[in-house]
């Protein structure tokens, strides 16, 4: 057997990528992404897609045979459009809980499909007020116009705020039971605890390049029976994100048969299959370990006076925002970090984007056997701060 030599992710020229996605990938995942050509409806590839879809169910902690995994060639953004074009009619109402930039972008997307999007924003670094959500849901029910959809951004990648999805879901079930519960899990799936069946969720969307630890290019999502029934009643307003087109395809592949609507991204699905085989059997332990790693980093940074954007108790475990100390020039500091081989992310939260930076701490960087990426990150941050004249 011949081999292609490709640079490993451990090569020196490669900057350790600790942004909140794309994150670092294992060599096994990268190798799978270089799998040679295969017929997209042939049995060899069908077996791979079947395996990936079955494990996608487990990733979302669902055993409901009537719920549906969806793996589509697109950025995670397509998941938002799936919500707008399949679960909403033009006159229906949305309650959107916003904890930052990405929640607001989700609102922009939904406004293409309905004018009736009510945004409930959280204070900076905090979660959305539980009682305000309750009031809004109740009022809509009292007005005989209950929300068709509520959206909860589990972790907004801009703020690193973790929303208690279980608690909001309980509230919705109690106060406005007809409302579909939609979760943006882009920065939470495979990182934070998420129980699709147990919490009674209706649609959770994510992307490949975060906790799932696969190169970007896959929209990965999961729909409940109730969401699928709603979708059947909605006139399709898009083609590429029309679930009526995709569901038969996903069902075919999962049952071991090829089917065609649009050519699947064969290599990315190989990579997904390899990654899910690593993640799924060990999901709970990985999530627990990721929390420990995140808390450790946060307390390390706190100990040198670097403060987290998310308030104590609501910090996410896959991404955190940290304020630049006042005496520090942000871009110069990030450049010093970069010169030491680590790529961190700039801020993106409206109004304060120049005041903080972000670290991604999920996937192989947080969990890989023998890897100490985040310890190295802390050391490098200390060196870069010192270089820029900061002393804690």
Q: Is residue 73 at the binding interface for a copy of itself, with CB under 8 A as the rule?
A: yes
Per-residue tokens: 9: 């992710």
How far, in Å, CA of 358 to CA of 310, rounded?
Answer: 11
Q: Is residue 261 at the binding interface for a copy of itself, with CB under 8 A as the rule?
A: yes
Question: Which part of the chain contacts a copy of itself (CB under 8 A), choosing from 40-48, 63-71, 189-197, 222-230?
Answer: 40-48
What separation in angstroms does the CA of 147 have from each of 156, 176, 209, 234, 290? 22, 8, 31, 16, 35
Q: Is residue 283 at the binding interface for a copy of itself, with CB under 8 A as the rule?
A: no
Per-residue tokens: 392: 């804690």
Q: Is 207 helix (H, G, I), strand (E, B) or coil?
A: strand
Q: Do residues 372 and 315 lie in contact, with contact meaning Cβ atoms separated by under 8 Å?
A: no
Q: Is residue 382 at the binding interface for a copy of itself, with CB under 8 A as the rule?
A: no
Q: Is residue 206 at the binding interface for a copy of itself, with CB under 8 A as the rule?
A: no
**Do the annotations mark residue 358 as ligand-binding?**
yes
Single out the residue of 69, 160, 264, 318 in contact with a copy of itself (rule: CB under 8 A). 264
Q: Provide, rounded to whole angstroms, the least separation between the CB of residue 347 and a copy of itself.
A: 13
Q: Provide, rounded to whole angstroms, the least separation between the CB of residue 159 and a copy of itself.
A: 16
Q: Angle CA(135)–CA(137)–CA(143) in degrees, nearest 5?
A: 100
Helix (H) or strand (E) holding 161: strand 161-162
Question: Which part of the chain contacts a copy of itself (CB under 8 A), choosing from 167-175, 214-222, 282-290, 322-330?
Answer: 214-222
Q: Is 305 helix (H, G, I), strand (E, B) or coil?
A: coil
Report the residue number, 263 or 391, with the smaller CB distance to a copy of itself: 263
Q: Do residues 346 and 358 lie in contact, with contact meaning Cβ atoms separated by under 8 Å?
A: yes
Q: Is residue 207 at the binding interface for a copy of itself, with CB under 8 A as the rule?
A: yes
Residues 80-139 that bind a copy of itself (CB under 8 A): 80-81, 84-85, 108-109, 112
Q: Is residue 27 at the binding interface for a copy of itself, with CB under 8 A as the rule?
A: yes
Binding-site residues for substrate: 358
């Amino acid at each position: 057997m011949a081999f292609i030599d490709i640079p490993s992710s451990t090569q020196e020229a490669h900057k350790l990528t600790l942004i909140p996605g794309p994150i670092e990938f294992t060599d096994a995942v990268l190798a799978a992404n270089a799998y040679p050509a295969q017929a997209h409806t042939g049995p060899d590839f069908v077996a791979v897609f079947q395996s990936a879809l079955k494990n996608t169910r487990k990733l979302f902690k669902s055993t409901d045979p009537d719920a549906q995994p969806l793996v589509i060639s697109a950025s995670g953004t397509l998941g938002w459009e799936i919500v707008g074009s399949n679960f909403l009619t033009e006159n229906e109402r949305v309650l959107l809980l916003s904890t930052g930039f990405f929640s607001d972008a989700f609102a922009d997307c939904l406004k293409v499909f309905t004018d009736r999007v009510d945004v409930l924003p959280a204070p900076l670094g905090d979660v959305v007020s539980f009682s305000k959500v309750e009031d809004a849901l109740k009022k809509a029910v009292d007005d005989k116009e209950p929300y068709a959809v509520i959206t909860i951004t589990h972790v907004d990648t801009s703020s690193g705020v973790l929303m208690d999805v279980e608690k909001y879901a309980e509230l919705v079930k109690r106060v406005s039971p007809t409302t579909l519960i939609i979760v943006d899990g882009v920065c939470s799936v495979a990182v934070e605890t998420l129980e699709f069946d147990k919490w009674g969720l209706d649609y959770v969307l994510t992307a490949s390049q975060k906790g799932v630890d696969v190169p970007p290019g896959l929209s990965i999502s999961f729909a409940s029976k109730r969401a699928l029934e709603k979708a059947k009643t909605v006139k399709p307003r898009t083609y590429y994100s029309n679930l009526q087109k995709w569901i038969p395809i996903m069902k075919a592949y999962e049952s071991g048969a090829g089917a065609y609507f649009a050519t699947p991204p064969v290599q990315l699905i190989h990579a997904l299959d390899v990654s899910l085989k690593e993640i799924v059997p060990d999901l709970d332990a990985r999530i627990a370990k990721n929390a420990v790693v995140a808390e450790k980093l946060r307390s390390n940074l706190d100990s040198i006076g670097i403060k987290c954007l998310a308030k104590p108790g609501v910090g996410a475990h896959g991404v955190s925002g940290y304020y630049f100390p006042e005496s520090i020039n942000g871009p110069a500091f990030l450049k010093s970090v970069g010169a030491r081989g680590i790529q961190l992310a700039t801020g993106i939260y409206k109004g304060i984007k120049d005041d903080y930076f972000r670290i991604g701490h999920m996937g192989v960087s947080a969990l890989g056997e023998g890897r100490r990426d985040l310890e190295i990150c802390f050391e490098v941050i200390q060196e870069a701060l010192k270089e820029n004249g900061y002393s804690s």
